[in-house]
Each structure stands twice: as C-alpha cells, then as structure tokens.
Structure 1
Amino acid sequence: MRVTPVVVFGLAGLIVLLGALVQGCAGLGMNLIAAPLLATLDPALVPVPLIVSSLLLSGLAMRREWSEVDWRGAGLAVLGRAPGTALGALAVALLPEPAFSVAVGGFVLLCLAASLITWRPRPTPVALLAAGFTGGVTGTASSIGGPPMALLYQHETGPRIRATLAAYMLFGGALSLLSLGIGGQIGVEQLLASAVLLPFLAAGFALSGPLRRVLDAGWTRLAVLGLSGGSAVLLIVRGLV
C-alpha cells in the first residue's frame, strides 16, 4: 500500500514532537529518537529538516532557562567543537562509516561506565575543550554530538544541564547548517519539510515545560545517563548492522 505524503509528514511530526518533549525535559535526546526513525520514514527528512528542528529547539530551550546557561562552559566547548567538526568531516571522508560508528559508540559507553564507577566528571576548562572537540567529531560523523557534554554536566542541576547543552547545541546546529548550505544541500524541498515539522516541535517543547519538573526532582542525572547510553548503543548497532 502506498503511503501518502500527508501520512509521512504526520508520522514525522509525531516523531519530532516526541524528540522535542524528551530533549526539552532532559537536555538531549532529539537526534537519538528522531534521526533513525525519520531516516527510515523518508531519507529526505534528514539531515536538513532534523537539524533545523534541533536548532530551533535549542534556541527555545536556551531562552526558557537563560539565567542557567554556563556561558563560560558553553564557550569553551564551542571553541573545542570547531576543530572537532573538521576532524569529523575528514573521518567521514577517509574512514569506513561502520567501524567509525562502533568506535565512537564504544568510547561513549566507556566514559559512561567510568562515570558510574570511579570517575566524577567536572566541567573544567580542559574537560570542556575535550568534550566540545569529541562532540564535534561525533556530531558531524553521526549526528549525535550531545553525550560528551551531557556526561560532563551530569552532576549539575536540571536547569543548568538543559540550558548549557542548548547553548552548545545551538552553535553546533548553526555550524552544520552553514556547512550544508555552502555544500549546496539546502533547497526549497528541505525548507518546506522543516516548516511542516515546526508546529509539532512547538507542541513537544510546550509539553516539556511542566514535565521537566518531574526530572528535576532527582531524575535528571538518570535521564542524561540513559540517553547518553542509548546514543552509544544506537551508534554501535548502526555500525554493526
């Protein structure tokens, strides 16, 4: 049975709504949830419409909890992300994608396991530069760049995690769109698809407003660790299948 464009965009909208709801509550999760599902539903929905959605979501989240942004931390991470983005692009061009995905996923899992056992990560200048660099590599190569920064801020408050990750991801999304635009990969079709998804994005973000208080009652770190681990597993599965 042929699936109509209306059905495709309706399903895509629900996926974006769910991703926006999760990221609005925990600070990350949009790409983890939406990227594989949208790519399966219609490859034209990634990367541009998803990046546009993530960019706008980050802007809304940062504005909502503006006073909680760790500007120093976000700035240092952004400084590290720029060369990481370049290395990620080079890795995509030179390395086999399956092996690279498995390596990145394994690295994130190792960091997660270490943070659960003995390592207590802190957003020091060196750690922020390293997290930004790593996020630039993984974000460019796999569209999942949030976990390194999320793990670094896992012991902070929920508002601080969400706001700082939003500021960091806002730069990442803008840089990705700029790169795609220079490469001639943004056209009318991608922009129209992005516009159709915006009402669903807004709805998911609005729903996250009251629900984020549930996570702030002691569940934020668990959500961050779970989503980071899910991202790593997704990368490994993507590389092996």
Structure 2
Amino acid sequence: DPSLLLIAGLISAVAATVHGTVGFGYGLLAVPTCALLHPDLAPSPQILVAVPLALIMVLREGRFADRREIGLLILGGGPGALLGIALVKVASERGVQLTMAATILLGVVLMASGRRVPRTPRTIVGTGVASGAMMLIGSIGGPPVALLYRDATGPTLRGTLALYFLIGDVVAIGLRWGTGEMGWPDVVAALWLLPGLLLGLWLARFLIPRVEGEPLRRAVLALATGAALMLAWRAW
C-alpha cells in the first residue's frame, strides 16, 4: 500500500532526525512504529537503511571516534550476541526483556545521579557484551554504549556509535540474508524509507548545535529510558 509506505517514510524522517542529532534512536523509534503499520515494514528494512545512515554519520564525525575503543566494543559484542542466543533459548522472552529493561533503567539512574563510569578496557568490553546481547534479543543495542559515552562530546558520542553501528549492521544483514530472514521485498521497503532518512539527517544538522553539552546528556538519558520502557511494554 503506497499510503503505508509514505507514512513509514515520514516515520523514518523523524527517527533519523533524532538519531542524527543524538547518535542513536533510529531503530528504537522506527522499528516499533513501522511494525504497527504492517509487520513486513520492520525490522529488516530499518536494518538495511541503517547502513547508509551509519555510513553518512561516520563520514561526518567518524574521525572523532577512538578506533581502539571501537575494537573493544566489538570484542565484547561477539560474546554478547552468543549470550543473547543462549538467553533466548533458556529463558522466557518476557523475562529476558524485563531484565534488559531493568538493567537499562539502573544505568540511567546511576548516570542521572552524577556517577560517572570510567571508560576502561573492562567497562568498554562489558558494554559491548550488553549491547551485543540486547541487539540480538530486542534490536536495541545503542543505549548501553550511549550511557557509557554520555559525558563525551557530541562528535565523539555520535562518531563512536556510528562506526560501531556500521560494523554491527553489516554483520546483521549478512546473518539475516543468509538465514532467509531478509529478502528483496525488504530492500524495496528500505528504498521507500531512504528519502525520509536522508531528510532527517539533513534536519539534524540544524539541531546538533542546540543539544551540545548538558542537553545532549539529557537526550541520551531520555532515549535510554524510552528504550527500557518500550522493552517493558513488549514484555507485558
């Protein structure tokens, strides 16, 4: 239905505006809302367009990312994905999603209280594990990384997340395509989302100067809280 695809494109524009400004949030906003329109509109089309989204942001601010820290995140992400697979097999989906929601909310409370988590190899790898598990279980891997980098500058936060997402999305596409969970109809749907995504990234350029510093940190906490509440809502 062209009207549904048009609405999905508008949703893509809003989600990309938030993502381009804060550094994450596209999947958090676009996947559940597009799924309400039609099950075939999520999550594979969003994963496909997430690659050009991340690539554009890498070209824009990827130079501010720490390659060593990206490597540590990926080092944790692999075992995290395996952990996610194990959790899905041994625990109920409801229990896993409630646990993830509680974990994110705990992180939000700690960060909001002013407590700063130092970025050490141990905390970065641990964050990668949490992100990898959550990405596999709930398609939401951004909040743990964003919370760890909450006190970083805007370019560092967005550049780090973009490079991390770019690698993760390419791997996710390969896995989904190889297992038959993604196909050419998803590519067609993704093409309808792409113009809105590009519009959202263009609009984000005007919002970025307004959210640097404390507003950016508040936005990270707000989006992370939203992710936790969405997971809890799914579980119930």
TM-score range, shorter chain: over 0.9
Q: What is the letter of the counterpart of residue 133 of structure 1? A: V
Pairing partner for 2:197 from 186, 192, 201: 201
> 1: CA distance between counterparts of 2:167 and 2:127?
14
The offset of 1:218, in angstroms, is 3.5
Contact 1:57 1:201 in 2 (8 A): yes
Q: Residues 53-96 of structure 1, C-alpha deviation per residue, up to 9 Å, x if partnerless?
A: 22221111111112211211111101110111122123223321
The offset of 1:115, in angstroms, is 1.9
Q: What is the letter of the counterpart of residue 61 of structure 1? A: M
Contact 1:122 1:153 in 2 (8 A): no
In structure 2, the partner of 1:148 is: 144
Within 5 A, what are the aligned runs for 1:12-91? 12-91=8-87
In structure 1, the partner of 2:123 is: 127
Q: What is the TM-score with the length of structure 2 in the denominator? A: 0.96
> 1: CA distance between counterparts of 2:44 and 2:147?
26
> 2: CA distance between counterparts of 1:70 and 1:112?
24
Q: Residues 178-210 of structure 1, C-alpha deviation per residue, up to 9 Å, x if partnerless?
A: 110110122221111111211111111111112
Residues paired across the two proteins, number:
236
> 2: CA distance between counterparts of 1:198 and 1:115?
34
> 2: CA distance between counterparts of 1:91 and 1:183?
20
Q: What is the letter of the counterpart of residue 228 of structure 1? A: A
In structure 1, the partner of 2:93 is: 97
Contact 1:108 1:228 in 2 (8 A): yes
The CA RMSD over aligned residues, in Å, is 1.2
In structure 1, the partner of 2:209 is: 213
Moved runs in structure 1, 4+ residues, more than 6 A? none
> 2: CA distance between counterparts of 1:40 and 1:104?
22
Identify the range of structure 1 (152-161 vs 84-93) with the bigger mean alpha-carbon deviation. 84-93
Contact 1:83 1:136 in 2 (8 A): yes
In structure 2, the partner of 1:191 is: 187
> 2: CA distance between counterparts of 1:202 and 1:118?
35
> 2: CA distance between counterparts of 1:223 and 1:111?
14
> 2: CA distance between counterparts of 1:179 and 1:91?
19
Which secondary structure does the structure 1 equivalent of 2:117 belong to? coil
> 2: CA distance between counterparts of 1:13 and 1:75?
33
The offset of 1:112, in angstroms, is 1.3
Residue 11 to residue 112, structure 1, CA distance change in 2 (3 Å)? same
> 2: CA distance between counterparts of 1:90 and 1:190?
27
The offset of 1:118, in angstroms, is 5.4
